């Protein structure tokens, strides 16, 4: 295998799994020689609250990832053209679709936003759109009616059919597809607001449950899941104890920023002491987000094409790449 002018032995997959695991340095060496197209100011714009991602992390982790995705995008396009040729049809435009999954507070949004910026700077300047699945959560009124408000983020709290149809339409090349919008600030779907996606070259779909399979238990349910439309998927992974800590630290920081605004659903939390805020955040984590991670999200990790494993300081320690 050629790599930056060097020749490596082909790596075997990890015993009993379809993955090969690369340590941080080994992974970083796989970037090509092109310079990082982002500056510290670009990174500051996409960095999520509490996520310390910096230039070194983007250079060592995200630059090789962008290169791999560029290769995958080219190969997927070729496969799509082969299908069209076989069918005797003119190849239609279809976006390359990437799923980004992982727990609440693991930093998926930062990963997805960084990829958007990097991919938009590929030589052919593709149009990259990013959609988060929170827009497909049922409104609070519906969640209350179904006794699901304390399960926000669980698979059943989403309108999965609408999300699936949204991706199907974008992938089918529809000229304009609309998605609802969720506000963390008001903790609900925003009425009368939509995001409009117009024939992107790349679509990134980011959310907790994007790697779920179809719910075959539901009578009459479609056997097609959102994940069936992904050309590549990325799972952002970390030790649940670290994620719990990040969640609580972010809650403490939000208390002084987002929660302090009067329109915040959590405005009453803005006056909590540190001890009280830690207890509230810990309780939300333990009763909602931790069970969702254990029951619904973590079991989907083994379906991802790429697993980014973060250490306690949020930096990526290793990358697992599906080889088989
Ligand atoms: N209560 C909140 N108020 C305002 N912003 C929030 C709140 N909770 C989360 N966020 C922001 O929403 C985004 C998504 O958060 P989350 O679903 O936990 O995913 P992740 O941390 O993996 O990106 C993050 O940028 C986070 O800072
Ligand atoms: C909005 C979320 C469900 C995440 O949505 P996603 O975009 O991942 O589909 C999550 O951030 C959330 O608010 N969970 C509810 C529990 C909590 O307040 O932490």
Average the pLDDT over 282-305 and give the result: 98
Sign for the CA dihedral angle at 154, 156, 157, 163 comes to: positive
218 — pLDDT class (breaks 50, 70, 90) = low
Alpha helices, DSSP H, located in the chain: 24-28, 40-46, 55-57, 63-87, 108-120, 140-145, 160-171, 240-256, 274-284, 290-292
Q: What is the pLDDT of residues 6-46, one digit of tens each?
A: 555 788 889 899 999 999 999 999 988 888 999 999 999 99
**Is 257 annotated as contributing to ligand binding?**
no
- Tell me what percent of the residues of the chain surpass a pLDDT of 90: 88
- For the question of whether the overall pTM of this predicted structure is more than 0.90, the answer is yes
What residues make up the domain containing 318?
24-322
**Burial tier of 6 (Cβ tally within 10 Å: 0-12, 13-18, 19+):** exposed
Q: Tell me, in angstroms, the distance from the centre of ligand 2 to residue 187's CA.
A: 9
**46 is annotated as contributing to ligand binding:** no
Mean pLDDT of 260-285: 95
Domain-embedded: residue 169: yes
Does residue 13 form part of some domain? no
Sign of torsion, CA 72 75 77 79?
Answer: negative
Least Cα distance to 106 among 60, 62, 63, 53 occurs for: 53
- pLDDT digits 0-9 by tens, 225-266: 999 999 999 999 999 999 999 999 999 999 989 999 999 999
Question: Has residue 8 been placed in a domain?
Answer: no
Ligand 2 within 6 A of 129 CB? no
User: If you measure from the C-alpha of residue 64 to the centroid of ligand 2, how many angstroms do you get, rounded to a whole number?
Assistant: 29
Q: Tell me if 104 CB under 6 Å of ligand 1.
A: yes
- Tell the residue nearest (CA) to atom 13 of ligand 1: 109
Q: Is residue 32 part of a domain?
A: yes
SS3 state at 83: helix
pLDDT at position 115 is 98
Residue 127 has pLDDT above 80, yes or no: yes
- Is 109 annotated as a binding-site member? yes
In a domain, 129, yes or no: yes
> Tell me, what's the ipTM?
0.95
Closest residue by Cα to atom 1, ligand 1, is 184
**What is the Å distance from ligand 2's center to 41 Cα?**
27
**pLDDT score recorded for residue 5:** 47
Q: Is 207 in the pocket of ligand 2 (CB under 6 A)?
A: yes
232 CA to centre of ligand 1 in angstroms? 23
Q: Is 153 annotated as a binding residue?
A: no
Q: Whose CA is nearest to atom 3 of ligand 2?
A: 153
Does residue 1 fall inside a structural domain? Answer: no
Q: Is residue 17 part of a domain?
A: no
Q: How far is the CA of 173 from the centre of ligand 2 (A)?
A: 29
| DSSP class of 271 | G
Domain of 249: which CATH number?
3.40.50.300
Q: What is the pLDDT confidence band of residue 286, given thresholds at 50, 70 and 90?
A: very high
Count structural domains, the chain.
Answer: 1
CB 82 within 8 A of CB 287: no
Residue 104, annotated ligand binder?
A: yes
Strand-pairing partners, residue 178, are: 196
Is the residue at 250 inside a domain? yes
């Amino acid at each position: 295998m050629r790599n930056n002018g060097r020749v490596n032995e082909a790596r075997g997959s990890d015993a009993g799994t379809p993955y090969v695991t690369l340590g941080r340095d080994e992974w970083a060496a796989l970037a090509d020689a092109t310079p990082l197209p982002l500056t510290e100011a670009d990174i500051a714009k996409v960095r999520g609250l509490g996520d310390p991602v910096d230039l070194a992390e983007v250079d060592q982790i995200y630059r090789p990832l962008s290169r791999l995705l560029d290769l995958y995008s080219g190969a997927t396009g070729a496969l799509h053209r082969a299908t069209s040729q076989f069918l005797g049809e003119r190849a239609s435009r279809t976006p390359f679709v990437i799923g980004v999954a992982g727990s609440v507070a693991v930093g998926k949004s930062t990963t997805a936003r960084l990829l958007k910026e990097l991919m938009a700077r590929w030589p052919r300047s593709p149009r990259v759109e990013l959609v988060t699945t929170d827009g497909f959560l049922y409104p609070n009124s519906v969640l209350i009616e179904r006794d699901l408000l304390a399960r926000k983020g669980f698979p059943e709290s989403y309108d999965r059919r609408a999300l699936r149809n949204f991706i199907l339409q974008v992938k089918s090349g529809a000229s304009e597809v609309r998605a609802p919008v969720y506000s963390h600030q008001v903790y609900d779907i925003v009425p009368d607001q939509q995001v409009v996606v117009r024939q992107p070259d790349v679509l990134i779909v980011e959310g907790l449950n994007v790697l779920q399979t179809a719910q075959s238990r539901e009578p009459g349910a479609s056997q097609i899941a959102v994940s069936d439309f992904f050309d590549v998927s990325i799972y952002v992974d970390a030790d649940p104890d670290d994620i719990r800590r990040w969640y609580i630290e972010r809650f403490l920081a939000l208390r002084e920023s987002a929660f302090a605004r009067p329109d915040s659903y959590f405005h009453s939390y803005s006056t909590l002491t540190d001890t009280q805020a830690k207890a509230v955040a810990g309780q939300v984590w333990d009763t909602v987000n931790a069970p969702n991670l254990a029951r619904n999200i973590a079991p989907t990790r083994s379906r991802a094409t790429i697993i980014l494993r973060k250490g306690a300081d949020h930096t990526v320690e290793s990358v697992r790449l599906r080889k088989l």
